[in-house]
Amino acid sequence: MTTYADYTTGEPVVDTKAPAGPINERWDKRRFEAKLVNPANRRKHTVIVVGTGLAGGSAGATLAEQGYHVVQFCYQDSPRRAHSIAAQGGINAAKNYRNDGDSVHRLFYDTVKGGDFRARESNVHRLAQISVEIIDQCVAQGVPFAREYGGLLDTRSFGGVQVSRTFYARGQTGQQLLLGAYQALSRQIAAGNIEMHPRTEMLDVIVVDGRARGIVARDLITGKISTYFADAVVLASGGYGNVFYLSTNAMNSNATAIWRAHRRGAYFANPCFTQIHPTCIPRTGDHQSKLTLMSESLRNDGRIWVPKAKGDDRPPNRIPEDERDYYLERIYPSFGNLVPRDIASRAAKNVCDEGRGVGPGGQGVYLDFADAIKRMGRKAVEAKYGNLFDMYQRITDEDPYEVPMRIYPAVHYTMGGLWVDYDLQTTVPGLFAIGEANFSDHGANRLGASALMQGLADGYFVLPATINDYLARNPHKDEVGDDHPVVQEVLAETEDRLNLLLSVDGDRTPDSFHRELGELMWEFCGMARTDSGLRKALERIPQIREEFWRRIKVPGTGEEFNQSLEKANRIVDYLELAELMCLDALHRSESCGGHFREESQTPDGEAARKDDEFGYAAAWEFTGTGEAPTLHKEDLVFEYVHPTQRSYA
């Protein structure tokens, strides 16, 4: 007998709105068929955008440029601080500047394959097509990409591909792309086309007569809860990796916007698809508040190894060459150190589980640059990776030019998210989700340098085209205001929730609950998942939730700057989302991409997919806290890339 809520299966999702016909004509066709809003009428339409990362920033700037009235929100003190800024390695684009055999079709193919055949072909192909325009757009904005001496753009290779198509700005590509979007956004703010609300956090979405009509948000300085109304709402609030407490996400990145949207009717797709990034700095102790990524680009020149013998605790430089196991190069000779992230992470876990891990607790593997320094010289290595090496040294107090880096996998990205159709619209009409907040393009595993590509594709190009169609077809009839009964209800619910958090006055801090939930999720819903482990987690989560509402302690009041209240309110949503993640992971009894079920593996330990049974995206419908959700399956049709067992050997 189970003590947790199971699930029921509902109607499948049949229409994704992707046009029929040859895949390379679908996006053109959709754009042509989409209705337009007369430029003179656009001013009359208000669009809310939540978030100012690559997706939200580029969407806000572009919609404002088109003439819409944009009202935009971010919880940070400035839109420039969204966590896209921390992306290091680069952005993919099928420019084929290297003449190395790249093409739109190859980028499409690599992404579908890298995602382990759990992404929607039409969306991925569109992404590959648009990738080319993104680079043009960013260069025009003044993004200082790395260049060669002839003045042309430089590229590098990334995991899971055999061409060099990743454009970069040293180890700070995300920063430079985000500042480009932020500057475009700033131009529109100055022009009066965007009403920007920094330090304001969305707490709920307002759905009236089945359409998204606005949001409830809290001013984080004064604590004032207000309503904002619009003709459409765009969520660009990022992923939910922080459900694990320790992740490479920013401390305040959270799932509240998408989870509240889910509660109001938006389906949540593939919540269990989370990406564990192979190259992060290992944790040092219980005080750890977050994990820091070391860019995947390091795998271009660094070699990953562990000692051949168990428990070999000699310093790395004393371990002779023939006693080292360069396990990625050994197992995957053609991709070597550049296998996709899920495979590299799992391989690291395996060697550590065998007792061959290095560093404190044996939770680490070496990423060694000795050969690269010998081959290229220290100067060249410094020019390529200098800032990453500095960062590593600051955090660990070890010099990676002298001793190999120690790395270990950590939660980094969530491929799952709100279910969206080809137009990036959720199942709530008028509610759109872009960037990491949606689920559509990366399947069960995202390739490196593809998140920046997707965020900007959605924000600069896809959403601005598709939202026109919705706005043109759905002229809003009645004004909605604070006096509308639905709005009053949403407002009251939000205020009650915050008041309850403040009134419990228990004996445990928000962080202590977040940490407990995170450890549980890492153990049972992390790199390797089992039926029994997931069932344990599913029994434990409702207990933590119950304890949370009994013992939480939030100091201060709601009418002031109160960071503890912000945290506690986000944990409320993590405690529900975590349950759905585990349920999704339990129901998907196959392995695919980042979702590895120990029961489903090939004889040599690779993920074994079950295409006949699970060749679908799982879109979950909310039915109530602790209630059995309803599963809607979107069958994935592969017309162009035939699903095979991924092989990187």
Partner 1 sequence: MKLTLRVWRQKNADADGAMSTYEVDGISPDMSFLEMLDTLNEGLILKGEDPVAFDHDCREGICGACSLVINGDAHGPERTTTCQLHMRSFKDGDTIDIEPWRASAFPVVKDLVVDRSAFDRIIQAGGYITAPTGAAPEAHATPVPKPDADFAFEHAECIGCGACVAACPNGAAMLFTSAKVNHLNVLPQGAPERESRVLDMVAQMDEEGFGGCTLTGECATACPKGIPLMSITSMNKEWLRATRKVSKR
The interface with partner 1 within residues 178-217 (CB under 8 A) comprises: 179, 182-184, 186-187, 189-190, 198
Nearer to partner 1, 142 or 626 (CB): 142
User: For residue 301, with 0-12 CB atoms within 10 Å meaning exposed, 13-18 middle and 19 or more buried, which class applies?
Assistant: buried
In the window 476-515, what residues touch partner 1 (CB under 8 A)? 507, 509, 511-512
- Contact call for residue 290 and partner 1 (CB under 8 A): yes
**Smallest separation (angstroms) from partner 1 to the CB of 331:** 31
Would you say 41 or 252 has its CB closer to partner 1? 252
Cα distances (angstroms) measured from residue 206 to each of 45, 240, 474: 17, 21, 17
Separation between Cα atoms, residue 406 and residue 358, nearest integer Å? 8
Closest approach, Cβ 185 to partner 1, in A, equals: 9
Shorter beta-carbon distance to partner 1: residue 197 or 356: 197
Give the nearer residue to partner 1 in terms of CB position, either 116 or 469: 469
Least CB distance to partner 1 at residue 579 (A): 26
Phi/psi at 645 (nearest 5 deg)? Answer: -65, 125
Q: Which two tokens stand for residue 574?
A: 């993590």
Q: What residues contact 29, with CB distance under 8 A and at least 6 apart?
A: 19, 21
Site stretch for partner 1 (CB under 8 A), options 35-43, 167-175, 398-406, 597-605: 167-175
How many CA atoms lie less than 13 Å away from 348 in the CB half-sphere?
29
Q: Which is closer to partner 1, CB of 77 or CB of 209?
A: 77
Q: Is 145 in the site for partner 1 (CB under 8 A)?
A: yes
- Which two tokens mark 147? 């260049």
Of the pair 160, 364, the CB lying nearest partner 1 is at 364
How many residues form the binding site for partner 1 (CB under 8 A)?
Answer: 78
**Residue 175 found at the interface with partner 1 (CB under 8 A):** yes
Using the rule CB under 8 A, give the single segment among 24-32, 168-176, 367-375, 523-531 that binds partner 1: 168-176
Contact window for partner 1 (CB under 8 A) among 101-109, 416-424, 487-495, 554-562: 554-562
Nearer to partner 1, 287 or 477 (CB): 287
Which residues in 15-29 are b (16+ Cβ under 10 Å) and which e? ebebbeeebeebbee
Among 19, 24, 29, 86, contact with partner 1 (rule: CB under 8 A): 86
Selected from 150, 311, 315, 603, the binder of partner 1 by CB under 8 A is: 150
Shortest spacing between CB 483 and partner 1, in angstroms? 31
Nearest C-alpha neighbor of 92 from the set 28, 180, 175, 173 = 173
* Number of Cβ within a 10 Å radius of residue 294: 28
Angle (CA) 562-568-571 rounded to 5° is 145
- Measured CA to CA, the distance from residue 433 to residue 55 in angstroms comes to 9
Interaction of residue 36 with partner 1, rule CB under 8 A: no
- The torsion angle over the Cα atoms of residues 608, 612, 616 and 621, rounded to 10 degrees, is -100
Pick from 98, 147, 314, 473: which binds partner 1 (CB under 8 A)? Answer: 147
Which CB atom, from 139 or from 376, has the smaller least distance to partner 1? 139
CA angle, 430 as apex, 272 and 52 as ends, to 5°?
Answer: 65
Instruction: State the Cα–Cα distance between residues 248 and 291, nearest whole angstrom.
Output: 5
Beta strands 232-235; 46-50: pairing state: parallel
- By the rule CB under 8 A, 395 interacts with partner 1: yes
Query: Per CB under 8 A, does 98 bind partner 1?
Result: no
Segment near partner 1 (CB under 8 A); pick from 101-109, 295-303, 484-492, 551-559: 551-559
**Tokens read off for 109:** 């193919």
* Pick 277 or 632: Cβ nearer partner 1: 277
Would residue 341 show up in a list of annotated catalytic residues for this protein? yes
Alpha-carbon gap, residue 131 to 454, rounded angstroms:
8
589 contacts partner 1 (rule: CB under 8 A): no
Among 155, 172, 450, 454, binds partner 1 (CB under 8 A): 172
Shortest reach from residue 351's CB to partner 1, in Å? 24
Is 311:355 a contact under the CB 8 Å cutoff? Answer: yes
Q: Strands 417-418, 69-73: parallel, antiparallel or unpaired by DSSP?
A: unpaired
Q: Does 399 bind partner 1 (CB under 8 A)?
A: no
Q: Among 334, 563, 625, 644, indicate the residue that binds partner 1 (CB under 8 A).
A: 563
CA angle 311, 316, 319 (to 5 degrees): 75
Active-site hit among 213, 299, 341, 356? 341
Listed ranges 442-450, 458-466, 516-524, 525-533: which one lies at the site for partner 1 (CB under 8 A): 458-466
Residue 80 within binding range of partner 1, rule CB under 8 A:
yes
Residue list 243-272, contact with partner 1 (CB under 8 A): 248, 250-252
Q: Is 152 in the site for partner 1 (CB under 8 A)?
A: yes
Under rule CB under 8 A, residue 65 binds partner 1: yes
Q: Rank residues 85 and 234 by Cβ distance to partner 1 and give the closer one.
A: 85
Identify which of 363, 353, 364 has the alpha carbon closest to the alpha carbon of residue 403. Answer: 364
What is the nearest approach in angstroms of partner 1 to the Cβ of residue 416?
22
User: Which DSSP string corresponds to 338-355?
Assistant: GS-HHHHHHHHHHHHHTT
DSSP letter assigned to residue 11 = P
- Cβ nearer to partner 1, comparing 178 with 641: 178
Residue 142, by phi and psi: left (phi above 0), alpha (psi -120 to 50) or beta?
left
Residue 139 CB contacts under 8 Å (≥ 6 apart), including other chains: 145, 153
| From candidates 135, 428, 517, 617, binder to partner 1 by CB under 8 A | 135
Binding mask of the shown chain, residues 406 to 445, with x at each position contacting partner 1 by CB under 8 A: ----------------------------------------
Distance between CA atoms of 544 and 552, rounded to whole angstroms?
11
Residue 277 binds partner 1 (CB under 8 A): no
- Asked if 497 contacts 256 with a C-beta cutoff of 8 angstroms, the reply is no
- How many residues are present in the chain? 649
Closest distance to partner 1 from the beta carbon of 55 (Å) = 13
Beta-strand ranges (E) seen in 371-467 are: 405-414, 417-418, 431-433
- Which range in 34-42, 150-158, 307-315, 573-581 contacts partner 1 by CB under 8 A? 150-158
Among 5, 153, 376, 504, binds partner 1 (CB under 8 A): 153
Closest CA to 560 of 167, 279, 220: 220
Neighbours of 397 (CB within 10 A): 7
**Those residues with Cβ within 8 angstroms of residue 39's Cβ, 6 or more apart along the chain or in another chain:** 66, 67
Q: Is residue 77 near partner 1 by the rule CB under 8 A?
A: yes
Q: Give dist(CA 418, CA 432) in Å, integer.
A: 9
Q: Which residue has the tokens 């454009």?
A: 167
Report the residue from 5, 19, 133, 195 that binds partner 1 according to the rule CB under 8 A: 133
**Least Å distance between CB 423 and partner 1?**
18
Choosing from 5, 34, 146, 504, the residue that interacts with partner 1 (CB under 8 A) is 146
Based on the shown chain and the rule CB under 8 A, indicate whether residue 318 belongs to the binding site for partner 1. no
The catalytic residue positions are 341
